[in-house]
Amino acid sequence: MRKELFVVLAVVLAGCTVPSFGGSDHPETPTGQDAIGYENGYWYDDPVSVTTDDGLNESERAAVVARTMARVEQVRDLEFKQSVPVSVISRAEYQNRSGGNGSGGSSRPQDPWNDQVWEALLLIGEDSGSSEEIDNTLSTTVQGYYSPSRDEIVIVSPTETPQIDRRTLSHELVHALQDQHFGLNGSAKTQDTQLSRQGVTEGEANYVRILYERRCGDGWGCIALPDRTNSGGGSDDGDGGNQSPSYNEGLFTVLYQPYVTGPRFVDQMRSDGGWSAVDALHDDFPDSTEQVLHPEKYPDEKPVNVSVADRSSDEWSRFDHDPVGDTVGETSVYAMMYHNGQVDGDRYSYESEISAGWGGDLVVPYRNGSGGYGYVWETRWDTEEDAREFERAYRAALTEEHGASQPRENVYVVPDESQFNDAFRVVRSGETVRIVNGPAVGDLSEIHDPAR
């Protein structure tokens, strides 16, 4: 499923080019084949007679969906091949469907392999599993989704009275358009490549939505936006004041990156080569979030292939998992450093000196027969100074944010009261920083013996 998360800040596209819409120079009905900007009896600039305050009845919804499809076509310069069913559900119903209800339950089984990946990032600790945290974050923040397997859109109403947010609808319709022309069933093996692919799919959907919204303020009559003030789901244009979010904000920072930096990446591709260059992205996705965050690095600057030698004792072993490890990438490093107090400024800028020198990484989870878990996280950096900067920041996160003591050189122990109460070994060699984690200091060499 392609899911849209809550828009918690304004996304600014510096220098973004607004396409020409050609005014209203079109016939009342298209001749011959269906025309771009016309769907199910509605041109993109036709009015629709609907009342939004009490929700939309079936005929009103059909009209809004048809005109929105026509407008998405007009902005994107791409024709829908078929109509897309749209339904509206409440947030409570969405949470019931997804199994994430914010009360500690999770629809997915526990995933200790993935738990270690998120623990390495100091974002999800041992007091809660990654499946639980991801489900809870999505159940709180998702506004709607498109299901490629069912070829349908589901809108999560932002109010108790079922309503359609035009921004969510246009975003999800772009996913349907992508699926009809390029397919959306591809898979990514690592966290970083999943996010980089979403930098295209979610980035394009948000990009088109932003252009759509600009037209709503400059010539198009658009249905009113729902009032989210008392919806319980968050704010569209701010950070919710001083209220703490009801989800893991560090995790959200990772998940939200494609929606923020993806539109800028897509805008750059379109500025260089038009919509055909955006089409081509679906056949040649970025190799890393580094390329999405820094479009000038696409497509030539590939991530370094990092491998971790297995130097564990008989007591410890790698998970039987394909792939053996996970690459978290520049986005996740940034989120970790921001969430752990090492980066200041705008959380959603995704720019920091600490993360910008990322070259490649690999997290390899380990376990023993006694229910213990650990990992080896090896990171590669563009320069030795980049590696030093990351090393210093990671050590500072352990001591400043999690109260770690340092019983000996390069070894840290986080106390029991922290959700990351483990032992850590942090070592830099040239452009490489290796972090080894285990339940206790004595486990570190059992998991990865540097002398082997």
- The answer to whether residues 328 and 272 belong to one domain is no
Task: Tell me the per-residue pLDDT of 299-342, one tens digit each, with 9 for 90 and over.
Answer: 999 999 999 999 999 999 999 999 999 999 999 999 999 999 99
Residues 285 and 352 occupy one common structural domain: no
Verify that 310 and 268 share a domain, yes or no. no
Instruction: Say if residue 248 is in the same domain as residue 310.
Output: no
Please tell me whether residues 230 and 149 are part of one structural domain.
yes
380 and 268 within one domain? no
232 vs 172, residue with greater confidence: 172
244, HSE (Cβ side, Cα atoms, 13 Å): 4
Tell me: do 286 and 321 sit in the same domain: no
437, 334: one domain: yes
Q: Is residue 452 part of a domain?
A: no
Last residue of a domain, one of 253, 270, 293: 293
Structurally, how many domains does the chain consist of? 2
Whether 275 and 249 share a structural domain:
yes
Is 372 found in the same domain as 352?
yes
Query: Residues 324, 373: one domain?
Result: yes
Identify the pLDDT of residue 424.
Answer: 98
Query: How confident is the model at residue 229, as a pLDDT?
Result: 56
Note the pLDDT of residue 420: 98
Identify the domain containing residue 69 by its residue range: 2-293
Residue 13 lies in a domain: yes
pLDDT tens-digit map of 3-39:
666 543 334 343 344 343 445 667 777 766 679 999 9
The verdict on 99 and 195 lying in the same domain is: yes
Choose the final residue of a domain: 231, 262, 293.
293
Q: What pLDDT, in 10s, does the model give residues 234-286?
A: 433 333 344 567 899 999 999 999 999 999 999 999 999 999 999 999 999 99
Q: Is residue 298 part of a domain?
A: no
